[in-house]
Amino acid sequence: MKKILRNLKSKALKDNIPILSDEGIELIINEIKKRNLKSMLEIGTAVGYSSIILAQHLSFITTLERNEDLHKKALKNIKEYQKTNIEAVLVDAHDYKPSRYYDLIFIDAAKAQYEKFFIKYKDFLTSEGIIICDNLNFHNLDINKVSRGTRSLIKKIESFKIFLKENKEFETEFYNIGDGLSVSWRRK
Ligand SMILES: C[S@@+](CC[C@H](N)C(=O)[O-])C[C@H]1O[C@@H](n2cnc3c(N)ncnc32)[C@H](O)[C@@H]1O
């Protein structure tokens, strides 16, 4: 299994498909174990790499992808790894309405939209559930040495971090590992 996953990882990297870092996977698995989480809603399937790995530690996963080509690749990979506990949905996450609550919401999609996704999906989080966001360091780019588009994305991520830090409903811990992750849980 480990060798096949390594193949999936190297193929994704070769095809320039951004996938969750090893440190990010470790952090999420630790949170799953520590908090006894059972279900996850993932926003951003890509080729299914993170969901296939995390499916070994969870009972049920719904994962959303808006790119049809990537969604099809994910379906193929999920079938190949025989992960029957993953529901992969081809949809823009702005339009999706969950039909259940989840213990873990993992936001790993278009960075400019993180705040919108957080606000929309927090209502589908179980009371003891957590929201994890990836790519908050934005590859540690220097804001003065990037294109205008990238600068605007970096600013959006920075403003999302402030949104999390000042959030009255959720408390957040930031982790400077991988590409920067956050873990948020409801304040008591
Ligand atoms: C960083 S990749 C996901 C990587 C994956 N979680 C992994 O680690 O294997 C981000 C994915 O989010 C998808 N995405 C971006 N915006 C989206 C949206 N609004 N709805 C659904 N998917 C979206 C992109 O097409 C891309 O495949």
Q: Is the CB of 65 inside a 6 Å radius of any atom of ligand 1? A: yes
Taking the centre of ligand 1 as the mean of its atom positions, its distance from the CA of residue 46, in whole angstroms, is 5
Residue 138: its pLDDT value, please?
72
Contact (Cβ atoms closer than 8 angstroms) between residue 184 and residue 174: no
pLDDT at 54 over 70: yes
pLDDT tens digits for range 139-165: 667 778 889 888 888 899 999 999 999
Residue closest by Cα to atom 4 of ligand 1: 19
Question: What are the phi and psi torsion angles at 103 (to 5°)?
Answer: -80, -25
Taking the centre of ligand 1 as the mean of its atom positions, its distance from the CA of residue 158, in whole angstroms, is 20
pLDDT tens digits for range 67-97: 999 999 999 999 998 999 999 999 999 999 9
Tokens 């296939």 identify what position? 52
Residue 159: its pLDDT value, please?
95
Taking the centre of ligand 1 as the mean of its atom positions, its distance from the CA of residue 188, in whole angstroms, is 31
What number is the average pLDDT over the span 113-132? Answer: 98
Q: Which fold, 2-186?
A: Rossmann fold (3.40.50)
Q: How far apart (Å, rounded) are the C-alpha atoms in residues 164 and 183?
A: 10
Taking the centre of ligand 1 as the mean of its atom positions, its distance from the CA of residue 94, in whole angstroms, is 12
The amino acid present at 140, given as its one-letter code, is N
Residue 63: its pLDDT value, please?
98
pLDDT tens digits for range 110-121: 888 999 999 999
Q: How many other CB atoms sit within 10 Å of the CB of residue 94? A: 14
Q: Is the CB of 19 inside a 6 Å radius of any atom of ligand 1? A: yes
pLDDT at 12 over 60: yes
Contact (Cβ atoms closer than 8 angstroms) between residue 106 and residue 40: yes
Domain boundaries, given as residue ranges, for the chain: 2-186
